[in-house]
Copies of this chain bind each other. A is one copy, B any other.
């Protein structure tokens, strides 16, 4: 499949998910996960409200059916069905008549971006509210408003999806995306789409590592997974948190808290050689679920790879982050970068030279030019010498590639050749 075709499929998944009102719990999450299940065999987990997860408690489940505000003239002036960003997430049910002044305490806008609806939540403090464009707010006449929210907030479950792909080794790579945002395309759907198609790709091949995909609500989802799966954490050798992968911006890699983990080296290597603009940051303790994976008690080698950086583009957490904001080709490019990283992780082994004392005689194995003296050094022969000299068990193939300033693929091909000739293990 061409990158273009792949991009179109990835975009199509985002389109299907966009209208659903997701939150950190509820039927919107279930519906979204069941759509993803059309692509990959996701396992769905339900964790009861009230479950203690470290310092937190799984919250009540929230479901919303309808919500609107009618103006003094009886016409709907805010309608959840038009855009699910209009509702303050976790709003409690209400049906009441209010004066404009009282209503305004429950309205959220962006005066600096007067045409955009903000995305707002109140998960852990009971409240109700509506989000709307500042320009709409300004137009509201004095008078009485009818407010209606048909929602429920009650004991239920936190729902998340998990896909575990066993590989040759129980050592695993963790790939995580948040699924708790409603109609936000880049900040949610792009990550979901990239990980869904990445999982499809891995399903089609034999892997050295095992892979664990998590489609979870942000923060409470990763905390819940970590709390309920602590014994599995020790298997996580590498990880990436995926989000913001459909916009036109260059790539942004945020290192794991360790800063020098293999995933950090590999991600930077791939970006450096991608020909794309990119930036790299040291770990900072806010952003996405890497906050939890990299908390000091876990300190996992998990980075965060996005295009535009968290919170830095004007459409971030507004109705501007819609399906027009993301594009096929950017999704496909992002998937390609994730695949490249996985490919290097899969092959980045630590070899051992079986003839560590002096060079082995490559010529008698047909691995070296018969006629000596020519000063034009051949790339493959050079690569053999690099791999042999530095494969002492302390340097990975990527480390050797970086030291030799040779492409990883050449070093990899060379190592395979040397393994075939029993010069390397």
Contact = CB atoms under 8 A, between A and B. Distances in A.
> Which interface class (under 10, 10 to 19, 20 to 34, 35 or more) fits A?
35 or more
Interface in A122-156: 122-125, 127
A295 B359 contact: yes
A284 B391 CA distance: 13
A127 B223 CA distance: 71
A382 B285 CA distance: 8
Interface in A302-359: 311, 316-317, 353, 355-359
Interface class of chain A by DSSP: loop
A388 B56 CA distance: 16
A355 B227 CA distance: 12
Nearest to A298: B357
Interface stretch (A32-40, A160-168, A191-199, A368-376): A368-376
Interface stretch (A43-51, A113-121, A204-212): A113-121
B121 A373 contact: yes
A420 B347 CA distance: 49
A257 interface: yes
Contacts of A356: 295-297
A213 interface: no
Interface string A213-227: 000000100110011
A48 B390 CA distance: 32
Contact of A357 (B226, B364, B382, B385): B226
A363 interface: yes
Nearest to A357: B297
9 closest A-B pairs by beta carbon, nearest first, are A297-B356, A297-B357, A285-B389, A285-B385, A296-B392, A121-B372, A125-B370, A55-B360, A311-B375
Given A56-B361, A227-B358, A296-B356, 5 more contacts: A108-B371, A127-B371, A223-B359, A285-B386, A285-B389
